[in-house]
């Protein structure tokens, strides 16, 4: 039996008028229905929602039963990382462009949220990565639900990145960089670099070269429980930036090592009961977009 949610945390890009309006409308709807609504403290100063409780951003996962993210996939990524390591699930309201993760549209927001709160939903547990960069006496660590991107710092200059999986040497990739993507991130940057789409329930990670110098340097799918080690062999600038879901972890110097592994925990995404992964792909990627229409 699905869990019943009573304390609902709302997050999103409150600086954007469309997201702020949607958050206000949803908050009012939830309060009128008798739910407790939590808002990060900065949002309460920008959105007029009497009855909502201000909460420290870092305590949302521990305080709320469900976190609803209003925005695009970037908002969903931030929300998912807020709840990383906790049991609090995330539901997405899509106000972005594609919305691979946030799958409830604005037009259906209130009835679909009501369905979820009534217990009509499915759970989707996604793995995320723990990424560590040695920085002198301390390691810098971030989590990533989508991907880790190592990219060149100089336009038109290639970098060499040595890859090892579970201690075994794989290859030294020469090109613009390298992506380590989860199945969730297989529809993001990795897809544009020639990587395959991986069904989220499949336990796999992707190593995807970015504009490789050798055409035979192709994407590789590996086990999700693999330990990945990346070493910068050469860079014209002497270093390369490391991004985790678009957030800068730091700059990796030549001969420095980046460690990547899957967390033992998972992030739980909530979908409406009628959610269909393949229908979502057809819609977002416009498969079969012709006069014949879409087949259900």
Examine the residue annotation and report whether 73 is marked as an active-site residue of this protein: yes
Phi, psi dihedrals of residue 243, rounded to the nearest 5°: -120, 135
Is pLDDT at 233 greater than 80 in this prediction? Answer: yes
- Over the stretch 109-151, which tens digit does the pLDDT of each residue have? 999 999 999 999 999 999 999 999 987 666 899 999 999 999 9
Confidence of residue 46 (pLDDT cuts 50, 70, 90): confident
Is pLDDT at 281 greater than 60 in this prediction? Answer: yes
Percent of the chain exceeding pLDDT 90 equals 75
- Beta strands, E only, the chain: 7-12, 36-40, 53-55, 66-71, 90-94, 121-135, 138-144, 147-151, 159-165, 168-175, 177-182, 204-210, 220-223, 228-234, 239-244, 247-253, 257-272
- Name the residue with higher pLDDT: 160 or 294: 160
**Residue 147 near residue 190 (C-beta atoms within 8 A):** yes
Is pLDDT at 294 greater than 80 in this prediction? Answer: no
Go through the domains of the chain in sequence order and give each one's CATH number: 7-120+273-285 (3.40.50.10330), 128-265 (2.60.200.30)
Is pLDDT at 70 greater than 90 in this prediction? Answer: yes
Active-site position among 48, 56, 65, 73: 73
Mean pLDDT (whole number) for 23-50: 91
**Residue 263 near residue 84 (C-beta atoms within 8 A):** yes
Mean pLDDT (whole number) for 262-267: 96
Distance CA(83)–CA(266), nearest Å, equals 10
- Over the stretch 239-261, which tens digit does the pLDDT of each residue have? 999 999 999 999 999 989 999 99
- Over the stretch 105-115, which tens digit does the pLDDT of each residue have? 888 999 999 99
Confidence of residue 195 (pLDDT cuts 50, 70, 90): very high
* pLDDT value of residue 153: 83
* pLDDT value of residue 180: 98
Measure Cα distances from 195 to 192, 211, 259 in Å: 7, 12, 21
Is pLDDT at 80 greater than 80 in this prediction? Answer: yes
Which has the closest alpha carbon to 203: 266, 142, 246? 266
* pLDDT value of residue 37: 96
């Amino acid at each position: 039996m699905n869990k019943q949610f009573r304390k609902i945390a709302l997050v999103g890009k409150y600086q954007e008028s469309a997201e702020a309006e949607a958050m206000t409308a949803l908050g009012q709807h939830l309060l009128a229905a008798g739910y407790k609504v939590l808002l990060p403290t900065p949002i309460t100063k920008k959105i007029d929602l009497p009855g909502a409780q201000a909460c420290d951003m870092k305590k949302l996962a521990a305080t709320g039963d469900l976190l609803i993210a209003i925005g695009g996939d970037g908002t969903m990524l931030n929300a998912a990382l807020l709840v990383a390591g906790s049991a609090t699930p995330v539901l997405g309201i899509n106000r972005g462009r594609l919305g691979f993760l946030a799958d409830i549209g604005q037009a259906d927001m209130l009835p679909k949220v009501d369905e979820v709160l009534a217990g009509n939903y499915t759970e989707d547990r996604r793995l995320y990565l723990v990424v560590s960069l040695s920085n002198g006496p301390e390691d810098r660590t971030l989590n990533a639900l989508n991907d880790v991107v190592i990219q060149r710092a100089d336009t038109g200059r290639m970098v060499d990145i040595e890859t090892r999986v579970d201690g075994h040497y794989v290859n030294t990739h020469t090109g613009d960089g390298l992506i380590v993507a989860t199945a969730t991130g297989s529809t993001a940057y990795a897809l544009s670099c020639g990587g395959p789409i991986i069904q989220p329930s499949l336990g796999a990670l992707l190593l995807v070269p970015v504009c490789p110098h050798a055409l035979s340097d192709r994407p590789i799918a590996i086990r999700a429980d693999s330990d990945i080690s990346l070493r910068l062999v050469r860079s014209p600038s002497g270093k390369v930036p490391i991004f985790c879901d678009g957030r800068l972890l730091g700059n990796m110097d030549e001969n420095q090592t980046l460690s990547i592994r899957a967390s033992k925990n998972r992030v739980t995404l909530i979908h409406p009961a009628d959610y269909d992964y393949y229908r979502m792909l057809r819609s977002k990627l416009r498969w079969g977009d012709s006069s014949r229409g879409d087949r259900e």
